[in-house]
């Protein structure tokens, strides 16, 4: 046989595109020609493959070799096509049986000595291969544990090209990779540090953070330097509810494409926490590139994105967050098509109230009113409207700092948060959302109904604080979360007043 085809795959954004690697070997001038809309690293595969095959003890005859990677409309990049190209060539020469390649997906990079090197994006590729009817995936050994996260498909992990050849010929047996995962919530990772028991004082702030996590709400912390804003925010992961298997696979899928998985423990056992420096660019935050790849907001999917020193971020960078915060996904359009990345995260942000950081303590603050206004104007009102909770973090008193008694630990808070999340999940059965923060407006009247006293309080707050329709709805959703933390079936006046209190910061610092 002079022609053969091998199934492989390419990643475009978060989408998997199947690629048929076709090899044709015929008489003619010795040459190695590759076609099919290839990047430079794919074209270089010709030298890697020929050298790896030779160093594996297989001599290729001096013939005309043409490799086509179809469809030609898909841009191929990376070195993951090395192994399928080698397999297609060997099958064309009759050194590997063609029937061994049926319903089998092959992917992997080759070293010059024939060793298989790991590649990124294995988890989504194996998921799609299973849906397409493949019964086997042949991968580098380093990717085998990741591929085995998908049940119902045989994962063959090999360390050398020679092993793959012998396996396809039936002269060597390779035990399929096995990975046992259980359904339901995964156990939370026990971490001794950090913990909320480390925080002295700031009980009101810790309460606001608990409400934010319980309902999936965005939170803004405003206070002077050294008051504990960053310390509190960095402990958010310790009170996040345990991640379920489905959520874990979704998170792992994004990290797989970015090549950020732990080789030994590829399955994400905890929700992500991404802390972004203020010098970040728009493309690094939301994703980008000629063929876009996920950015920081997608890496924070299912967890928390923390922006410290919020006013130091470039204003255009912050503004690109407005659409993902509402839609919980990011859309990027390029010449070759549109790409959709997940972006369902809790945004936590922290900032100083003025350039020197001491406002409104007029005895310490050295800033003029104009400087303070210019400083706070770096945060636009539309961006502020998307923050569900705004809370002031006051300076810690010396007595609180030296308290011997530890505060409430993260495990206790996480238990309350998890119970509140379970109530929301049960209440919103049949809806796309499972948290209060994402409850559609048309469902507010049904699930967040206010009594006559609550309507009066809400109307008064609407006029006094200058709330918009968006901030009004967000306040009601926060009140629903506070009620869930208490196990209340209906939103009470006390719940609503606490939620309104979390919007007072807008009027104090930004005039609304």
Q: Could you tell me the CATH superfamily of domain 196-510?
A: P-loop containing nucleotide triphosphate hydrolases (3.40.50.300)
Supply the DSSP string of 13-27, one letter for each residue.
Answer: TTEEEEEEEEEEEES
* pLDDT level of residue 404 (50, 70, 90 thresholds): low
* pLDDT level of residue 485 (50, 70, 90 thresholds): very high
Residue 486 to residue 418: CA distance in whole angstroms = 12
Q: Is the whole model's pTM more than 0.85, yes or no? A: yes
* pLDDT level of residue 181 (50, 70, 90 thresholds): low
Q: What is the pLDDT of residues 45-80, one digit of tens each?
A: 999 999 999 999 999 999 999 999 999 888 899 999
Whole-number pLDDT of residue 417: 97
In angstroms and rounded to an integer, the radius of gyration of the C-alpha atoms of the chain is: 28
How many CB atoms neighbour CB 239 within 10 A?
25
Whole-number pLDDT of residue 407: 77
In contact, 447 and 427? CB cutoff 8 Å: yes
β 116-117/109-110 pair status: antiparallel
Q: What is the pLDDT of residues 388-400, one digit of tens each?
A: 999 999 988 877 7
* pLDDT level of residue 387 (50, 70, 90 thresholds): very high
Residue 158 to residue 90: CA distance in whole angstroms = 17
In contact, 169 and 137? CB cutoff 8 Å: no
Sketch the domain layout of the chain as residue ranges.
3-169, 196-510
Residue 465 to residue 482: CA distance in whole angstroms = 20
Range 231-244 average pLDDT: 93
Fold observed for domain 3-169: Ribosomal Protein S5; domain 2 (3.30.230)
Whole-number pLDDT of residue 174: 93
Q: What is the pLDDT of residues 296-335, one digit of tens each?
A: 999 999 999 999 999 999 999 999 999 999 999 998 887 7
């Amino acid at each position: 046989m002079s022609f053969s085809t091998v199934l492989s795959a390419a990643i475009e954004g978060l989408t998997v595109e199947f690629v048929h690697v076709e090899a044709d070997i015929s008489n003619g001038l010795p040459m190695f020609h590759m076609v099919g809309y290839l990047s430079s690293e794919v074209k270089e595969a010709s030298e890697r493959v020929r050298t790896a095959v030779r160093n594996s003890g297989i001599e290729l005859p001096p013939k005309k070799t043409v490799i086509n990677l179809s469809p030609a409309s898909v841009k191929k990049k990376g070195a993951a096509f090395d192994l399928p190209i080698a397999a297609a060539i060997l099958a064309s020469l009759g050194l590997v049986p063609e029937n061994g390649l049926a319903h089998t997906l092959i992917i992997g990079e080759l070293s010059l000595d024939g060793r298989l090197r790991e590649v990124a994006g294995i988890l989504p590729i194996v998921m799609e291969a299973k849906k397409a009817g493949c019964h086997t995936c042949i991968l580098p050994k380093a990717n085998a544990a990741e591929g085995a996260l998908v049940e119902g498909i045989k994962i063959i992990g090999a360390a050398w090209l020679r092993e793959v050849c012998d396996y396809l010929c039936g002269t060597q047996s390779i035990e399929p990779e096995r990975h046992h995962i259980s359904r339901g919530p995964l156990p939370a990772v026990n971490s001794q540090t950090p913990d909320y028991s480390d925080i002295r004082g700031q009980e009101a702030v810790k309460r606001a953070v608990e409400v934010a996590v319980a309902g999936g709400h965005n939170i803004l912390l405003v206070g002077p330097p050294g008051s504990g804003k960053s310390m509190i925010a960095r402990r958010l992961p310790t009170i996040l509810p345990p991640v379920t298997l489905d959520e874990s696979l979704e998170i792992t899928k994004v990290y797989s494409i970015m090549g950020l998985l732990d080789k030994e423990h590829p399955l994400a056992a905890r929700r992500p926490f991404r802390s972004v420096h203020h010098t970040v660019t728009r493309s690094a935050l939301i994703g980008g590139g000629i063929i876009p790849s996920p950015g920081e907001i997608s890496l924070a999917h299912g967890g928390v994105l923390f922006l410290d020193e919020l006013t130091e971020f470039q204003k255009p960078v912050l503004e690109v967050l407005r659409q993902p915060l509402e839609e919980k996904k990011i859309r990027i359009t390029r010449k070759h098509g549109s790409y959709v990345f997940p972006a369902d995260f809790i945004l936590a942000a922290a900032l100083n109230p003025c350039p020197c950081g001491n406002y409104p303590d007029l005895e310490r603050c050295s800033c003029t009113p104009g400087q303070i206004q210019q400083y706070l104007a770096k945060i636009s009102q539309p961006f502020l409207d998307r923050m569900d909770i705004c809370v002031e973090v006051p300076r810690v008193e010396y007595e609180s700092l030296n308290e011997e008694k530890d505060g409430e630990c993260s495990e206790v808070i996480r238990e309350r948060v998890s119970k509140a999340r379970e109530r929301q999940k049960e209440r919103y059965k049949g809806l796309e959302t499972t948290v209060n923060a994402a409850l559609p407006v048309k469902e507010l009247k049904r699930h967040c109904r206010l009594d006559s006293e609550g309507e009066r309080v809400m109307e008064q707050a609407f006029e006094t604080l200058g709330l918009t329709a968006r901030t009004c709805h967000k306040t009601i959703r926060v009140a629903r979360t506070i009620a869930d933390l208490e196990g209340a079936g209906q939103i009470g006046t006390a719940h609503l007043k606490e939620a309104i209190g979390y919007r007072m910061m807008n009027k104090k610092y930004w005039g609304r």
